[in-house]
Amino acid sequence: MSNGRSFYITTPIYYPSDLPHIGHGYTSVAVDALARWHRQAGDDTWMLTGTDEHGQKMLRAAAANGVTPQEWVDRLVQESWFPLLETLDVANDDFIRTTQPRHEERVQQFVQALYDRGYIYAGEYEALYCVGCEEFKPEAEIVDGTGPFEGLKVCAIHSKPLELLQEKNYFFKLSEFQDRLLELYRDEPDFVRPESARNEVISFVRSGLKDLSISRSAFDWGIRVPWDDTHVIYVWVDALLNYATAVGYGTDPEQFARRWPAYHVVGKDILRFHAVIWPAMLMAAGLDVPRGVFAHGWLLVGGEKMSKSKLTGIAPQEITDVFGSDAYRFYFLSAIAFGQDGSFSWEDLSARYQAELANGFGNLASRTVAMIERYFDGVVPPSAETTEADERIQRTVADAAEAADAAMERFRPDEAITAIWTIVDALNGYITENEPWALAKDDGRRARLGTVLYTAAEGLRALAVLLSPIMPAATEKLWVALGADALGRLVDQPLREAGTWGGLRPGGSVNGLAPLFPRVDQS
Ligand code: MSP
């Protein structure tokens, strides 16, 4: 059912040494919802995620745990990172690990190509390095330490001392790409989104680019520089290349042509790597730059960026164990404007779960199915003559479906959910106003009762389709309860036609629906 339009979308590849927290989970569910949306709309979709396994951070963590770096990352990926995908119901098409041969070999090939094209040279380097960021820090992110780090220079993000590194390095001529990058941002205004991220990137590039150190010789946990095996490739160069190596760069030209270029969704902390260094590397290699980079905001807990190192970390499973994976996905994607920072609190999650999911959507579904069971023996009634109120629902559904698709195209799942929720609200109001329980007492109004319940059930059909990328499990249950599986599988319902009225066929049977969002006990 592909329409031939390619949609390749990626998450950042995560450092496995950190245990997954809700910040990582946020990026992953956003990318998964966007991918599911496009897949279900018939776009030729590919979703990639994975782990970033080289570098000093990993080497030190392994040593501290008394195992080899390979053993260390193997264990963490198996025990924590694969399970995260299940916990959050993520349907990725591939998972790349930077220690896989398919990646390592192609990274060497890419770096060799840049060397052969004259974009890499050897030089001396001395600068302050943050192992947490795996980055030589720019002036603006170096601050004076306090407390135990008094008198030392520390990283503004990690608040940990920086290390002065002095070594012979290979450099990538990033400075040569300043003009071409500025042209790119000018010609393709959507290359970096949102607007605030775009402005930040433009002013950073305008202020001048320095060449980038792309190798390290002080340790060996990395991919060897092909022409000098005393050096390993800088972990960020290695990591960024995952987006290309995973779709056949250097091995499978057909696959690469079909998928590349990608859309990258990243946290704003790693925007510059993706919107400056990465496109410059691709330009140097003569490859297409990404389709776009979308930077989302940070999850804040108690007002601070959530991170494991600052002890504010919350594991996604703590949330899904209580509320389920659908509620996790819905909450983070609806409560935070995608692109801005957002605060997480258990109180807010719990309140939204109760109001929007249990009382709003879940209750609408339960009572509609229950009334069809009670008044029509579980058979979806036909719609008779329609009134202005029924037609208003039909228009709401059509408008919401269109607005949601437009919002997903803009990478705004939050706005898509707001649009879809107009259907939930309208249907709840419609049922209250039309009082099917009162109509049911009057035999003369049976045709009207049928119209009201058909309208509600057909609205739910549209809701199931539109919400399935956001809440795959609950919508699947609803689909079956509506008897809509006669129309085929939910995931095969064409998303861009979800708003066309009349999909649900009268005469089908509904099946009892257990509460979609049961009451939770949070003791
Ligand atoms: N390994 C690099 C990325 C390489 S991509 C070529 C890295 N990894 S990371 O494990 O630190 O996680 C990166 C991503 O996790 C962030 O860009 C962001 O998407 C997500 N988040 C981590 N903490 C977060 C918050 N507190 N809030 C929101 N997202 C956060 O950097």
Secondary element (H or E) of residue 49? strand 44-51
pLDDT score, position 1: 52
- The neighbouring-strand residues paired with 49 are 95
Check if 137 has its Cβ closer than 6 Å to any atom of ligand 1.
Answer: no
Instruction: Give the Cα separation of 157 and 520 in Å (integer).
Output: 37
Measured between its terminal Cα atoms, the distance across the chain in Å is 47
CA of 411 to the centre of ligand 1 (A): 18
Q: Determine the topology of domain 346-497 in CATH.
A: Isoleucyl-tRNA Synthetase; Domain 1 (1.10.730)
Check if 55 has its Cβ closer than 6 Å to any atom of ligand 1.
Answer: no
pLDDT score, position 138: 85
Contacts of 1 (CB under 8 A, 6+ apart): 42, 492, 494
* 18 HSE (CA, 13 A, CB side): 24
Query: What pTM was estimated for this model as a whole?
Result: 0.94
Query: With DSSP H G I counted as helix, E B as strand and the rest as coil, what are the percentages for the chain, rounded to 5?
Result: 50, 15, 30
Q: Is the dihedral of CA 400, 406, 408, 410 positive or negative?
A: negative
What is the chain's pLDDT, residue by residue, as a tens digit (523 residues)?
567 899 999 999 999 998 999 999 999 999 999 999 999 999 999 999 999 999 988 999 999 999 999 999 999 999 999 999 999 999 999 999 999 999 999 999 999 999 999 999 999 888 888 988 888 888 888 999 999 999 899 998 888 999 888 888 999 999 999 999 999 999 999 999 999 999 999 999 999 999 999 999 988 999 999 999 999 999 999 999 999 999 999 999 999 999 999 999 999 999 999 999 999 999 999 999 999 999 999 999 887 777 655 556 899 999 999 999 999 999 999 999 999 999 999 999 999 999 999 999 999 999 999 999 999 999 999 999 999 999 999 999 999 999 999 999 999 999 999 999 999 999 999 999 999 999 999 999 999 999 999 999 999 999 999 999 999 999 999 999 999 999 999 999 999 999 999 999 999 999 988 999 998 876 5
Instruction: Give the Cα separation of 99 and 221 in Å (integer).
Output: 10
Check if 30 has its Cβ closer than 6 Å to any atom of ligand 1.
Answer: no
* 23 HSE (CA, 13 A, CB side): 25
Query: Strand 263-267 vs strand 6-14: parallel, antiparallel, or unpaired?
Result: parallel
Closest Cα to atom 6 of ligand 1: 240
The amino acid that residue 349 corresponds to is L
Q: How distant, in Å, are the alpha carbons of 3, 396, 493 from that of 40?
A: 11, 21, 7
Instruction: Give the Cα separation of 286 and 357 in Å (integer).
Output: 49
The maximal CA–CA distance of the chain, rounded, in angstroms, is 91
Instruction: Give the Cα separation of 211 and 288 in Å (integer).
Output: 21
| Residues carrying an active site annotation | 21, 24, 130, 133, 155, 158, 305, 308
Q: How distant, in Å, are the alpha carbons of 17, 76, 499, 509 from that of 454?
A: 53, 50, 15, 12
